Amino acid sequence: MKRLALAAACAAAFAASALPAFGNGSSGTINATISVEAPCITVSPETPVAFPSQPYSQPDVVSPSRSFGSGMSLTNCSSGPERVFARGSDATAPGASWELVPIAAGNPCPLGIDRYHLALAKPGGGAYQAYLTKTNQVLVDLANQPNAYVFAAGSVNALLGILTMPCAGSSGAGEEMAFQIVLTATF
């Protein structure tokens, strides 16, 4: 009986030594990395865009000024699709300023003097547009409102700026008013 018990103990010890040792064994490490995409747009032109001169709006006649032929565009330089937000600034000149206000019925005259509207759209209509305020507004997919338009990786996209002149009596007559359009890309 002792021989049988000793043989069984030896067989059990041998079998245990052939199994992987989880508590006292060796381990290995796999090092890994991942690159995180970053939103990326380039905007052109890099020089200021000159909107054509326009008269002030009147209570019964809106005077929009479009940036025809300006060559404004944004390029998605990311490797993935992006959504783009835009915002504008107040317009200023020495001794004059216009407040950028959200579009309300298209004519800024009911809002008083020294207030103007600004929008971005795809030339020729369709695809995307945004009515700008001083906070970011998404370029909306006109075919799928109110969702954001998705700019494909590597795409070059023309932009049309639309400025609605402030009401007659506003400051800045004969001046060159300066303002900014800021574009921000996100995933």
Give the model confidence (pLDDT) of 17-30 as tens digits. Answer: 555 555 678 999 99
pLDDT value of residue 12 = 53
Average pLDDT score over residue span 70-98: 93
Average pLDDT score over residue span 100-120: 87
Could you tell me if residue 120 is inside a domain? Answer: yes
pLDDT value of residue 71 = 74
Indicate the number of domains in the chain. 1
CA distance linking residue 27 with residue 95, whole number of Å? 74
pTM over 0.85: no
Average pLDDT score over residue span 117-127: 82
Could you tell me if residue 70 is inside a domain? Answer: yes
Could you tell me if residue 61 is inside a domain? Answer: yes
Could you tell me if residue 116 is inside a domain? Answer: yes
Q: Which domain holds residue 112?
A: 41-186
